[in-house]
Amino acid sequence: MNISTNAIVSNSEMIKNYRVCREKAENCGKIFVLKNNQPDAVLFSIREYERLSAFIEYMESLEDIDMEAVIDSLPKEGNRREYSIDLLKKELK
């Protein structure tokens, strides 16, 4: 996973400047919070959270064989595109 340095904030920055960090999450989709230079948390924008929630709910509704087909269709590394539920349904057909 490639993480932009723009999407990384320290724990202390998050505490001191929550509003700025929230805006950064909105622009980036998510930000990674470091504590003592180690990953500690991820703050998602509501848009990104809703997208991921829809994807998880869809995956949970699939039969095992269909889930394997979806997983196999996803890129393993490099630049990843955003997957919509409609796109995933189309790829399964």
* Predicted pLDDT of residue 67: 74
* Predicted pLDDT of residue 1: 57
Please tell us whether the domain made up of 5-44 is placed in CATH 3.40.1620.
Answer: yes
* Predicted pLDDT of residue 78: 63
Helices (H), the chain: 11-16, 18-28, 46-61, 64-73, 85-92
21: CB partners within 8 A, 6+ apart? 9, 13, 14, 31, 33, 43
* Predicted pLDDT of residue 56: 85
* Predicted pLDDT of residue 49: 93
Side chain identity at 19, as an amino acid letter?
A: R
pLDDT by position in tens, the chain (length 93) = 567 778 899 999 999 999 999 999 999 999 999 999 888 999 999 999 998 898 888 888 878 777 777 777 777 766 666 656 566 556 555
* Predicted pLDDT of residue 14: 94
Specify whether the CB–CB gap between 67 and 57 falls below 8 A. Answer: no
